[in-house]
Structure 1
Amino acid sequence: MYRLLTYIFGYINLELGEILKIKNGSDYKKFNTGNIPVYGSGGIINYTDTYIYDEESVLIPRKGSIGNLFYVDKPFWTVDTIFYTVIDKDIVIPKYIYYYLSKINLEKLNTAGGVPSLTQTVLNKILIPLPPLEEQQRIVDILDRFDKLCNDISEGLPAEIEARQKQYEYFREKLLTFKNIND
């Protein structure tokens, strides 16, 4: 049905809960230290030897930094402040979901007065426009290129600034140093 509707209309709007399952994280402290990242709402908080899920997933903070999404494609663990997703790859590319949810202001969906919070019920109702898989992949490829470009610039910028600062200091010294005509 999905393919037929996208063939006819070009894309279809589905609720997030129709294309993925949102799962809760849990405590990792009973496990040994290892090389599998443990995610909380702020990012990687530790490493363990056990994973909660080992496929592509979008991690959505449940409490705290609710706009701080993560795309993961390696085994990981999540604590209870962040949801992980089990995505139906027959109808959506996981990274497409990541990019689309990144575009939404999730803070507007906050369900709490104090610490920002999201619920599965609220998240499951988000409408996601789904073009055909080929178009999703094209969108992901373009956004990946821009993401890489931005990261390359961000990583290279401090070195470039330092080089320009040294260049400025060199030329300032050369241009503002005069020989004393009495010597």
Structure 2
Amino acid sequence: MSQIEEVIERLCPDGVPYETLRTVAQISGRNIQPSAMGDATVTVYSLPAFDNNRTAERLIGSDVGSAKTALAHPTVLVAKLNPHIPRVWKLASIPNNSYSSPEFFPLVPDPNRLDLGFLYYFISTQLGKLASTVTGSTNSHKRLHREDFLGLRIPVPPLEVQHEIVKILDTFTDLEAELEAELEARRQQYHYCQRLLLSSKVSRSVPLTLGDIGKVSMCKRVFKSQTSEEGEVPFFKIGTFGEQANSFISRELFENYRMNYPFPKKGDVLISAAGTIGKSITYDGAPAYFQDSNIVWIDNNEKIVKNSYLRYWYRTVSWTTDGSIIRRLYNDQIRRTKILIPPIAEQERIVSILDTFDALVNDLNSGLPAELNARRQQYEYYRDKLLTFKELKS
């Protein structure tokens, strides 16, 4: 940081001028119909590409389907239409025959005033401010307006300062990309090991059904009149299973039902039998109640199969449902589901391996997700710090 501070002190000790975007950059490009593109291969940048982490789509011009904006210069694309208002994307190089969808403002900086990377990083700090200017009666009609966007004020330090800032922030971005790539590689490795360890290749595994290892159980039915929006004990319905409860029952009802009717033990693995079929959550023992028939569990004997092993097994199951419009997993379908059960010692070994992988790729307090989160926070801190300047008094 000392080097950039020295550069700022040398080149702009009293602050920097602030300009509106329209004075240092322009929305560039012209709309072209597919009929004018011919049969050449074209590169199309669109929001679906954003969503799927693709750089762009390669299409035949005549197959594009609607007018696109021709891109000719390095640009910053800013989403102006839902579902991502705003969102920013930097294109440092533009392939021949490149176009963007009408979902974007393609913003080209004045190279004598503004570095492309500096523009990209600055706009990324202003997304909240830009979002506050969005208008529209419904989500499908909400948009960021051109004049609001071009009226955004941006600091314009000397180009040497901009280049140094971009160099620092690019380093943070590269480190984050490396961590993301490593995390994805570890996830693939984890899924491979999970499939392998729980497959028939495991020695001495006994093929059984879930019905062989325990009874399909569920909580006693709770009626809507017995619930409230506030209360003492969370009541999880299928729509809130594994998330935040929005319904509650009284402590008295909870204790009555817990003591007199089926109720999961701490460590039992709950399964969603409707909605997201087969979603599984380990019951942590805290006071909570679960919607009958929609959330069930196997009352298994842990001398035969450990809950910790069962939790991982459920992640590999292809559940057979009734095929109706509203998908449901019935008890007999659960009972018929096949499972391979190795000896307890082998189950514990498998769980130990998978727990290590799970913590590495999913634990937000440790492993790669925690490191990635720390890097993102560090990047955002320095990005905001580096892009905040005292305004030069005229």
TM-score, scaled relative to structure 2: 0.37
Deviation at 1:143, TM superposition (A): 1.7
Structure 1 151/10 Cα, relative in aligned 2: closer, same or farther at 3 Å? same
Q: 1:82 to 1:170 in 2, by over 3 A?
A: same
Encode CA deviations 1:75-100: one digit per residue, 9 max, x unaligned. 54211221122111110001211110
Aligned: 1:145 with 2:339: no
The residue that corresponds to 1:98 in the other structure is 311
Letter in 2 for 1:166: Y
- SS of alignment partner, residue 271 of structure 2: strand
Q: Which amino acid aligns with 1:68?
A: K
1:129 and 2:344 correspond: no
Q: CA deviation at 1:67?
A: 3.2
Q: Does the 8 Å CA contact 1:28/1:79 hold for their aligned counterparts?
A: no
CA distance in 2, matches of 1:157, 1:97: 30
For 2:264 and 2:278, locate their aligned partners in 1 and report how far apart those are by CA, in whole Å.
Answer: 22
Distance of aligned partners of 1:135 and 1:74 in 2 relative to their CA distance in 1, 3 Å threshold: same
> Can you give the 5+ residue segments of structure 2 that lack an aligned partner in the other structure?
1-202, 390-394
Q: Which amino acid aligns with 2:334?
A: L
The equivalent of 1:71 in structure 2 is 282
**In structure 1, C-alpha distance between the alignment counterparts of 2:266 and 2:309, rounded to whole Å:** 15
Q: Given the alignment, which residue of 49, 54, 60 partners 2:271?
A: 60
**Which of 164, 168, 175 is residue 379 of structure 2 equivalent to?**
164
**Higher RCO (CA < 8 A, seq sep 6+):** 1
- The answer to whether the 8 Å contact 1:53/1:77 transfers is no
> Corresponding residue for 1:177?
none
Higher Cα Rg, which structure = 2
- Over 3 Å counting, the alpha-carbon distance change for 1:165 and 1:56 in structure 2 is closer
Question: Contact conserved, 2:280 with 2:311, CA < 8 A, in 1?
Answer: yes
Cα–Cα, structure 1 residues 73 and 135, in superposed 2: closer, same or farther, change >3 Å?
farther
TM-score with structure 1 length normalisation?
0.74
Deviations 1:146-181 (A, max 9, x none): 22222234455444213113334556789xxxxxxx
The CA distance in 2 between the partners of 1:34 and 1:141, in whole Å, is: 36
Residue in 1 that maps onto 2:213: 19
Which residue of structure 2 lines up, in the alignment, with residue 88 of structure 1?
301
For the 8 Å contact 2:210–2:337, the answer to whether it is kept is: yes
For residues 25-68 of structure 1, the C-alpha deviation after alignment (integer angstroms, 9 at most, x for no partner) is: 32176479335x53333425245532433342111111111132
Measured in 2, the distance between the counterparts of 1:137 and 1:93 equals 8
**How many residues were matched structurally?**
163
- Residue 17 of structure 1 aligns to a residue whose secondary structure is helix
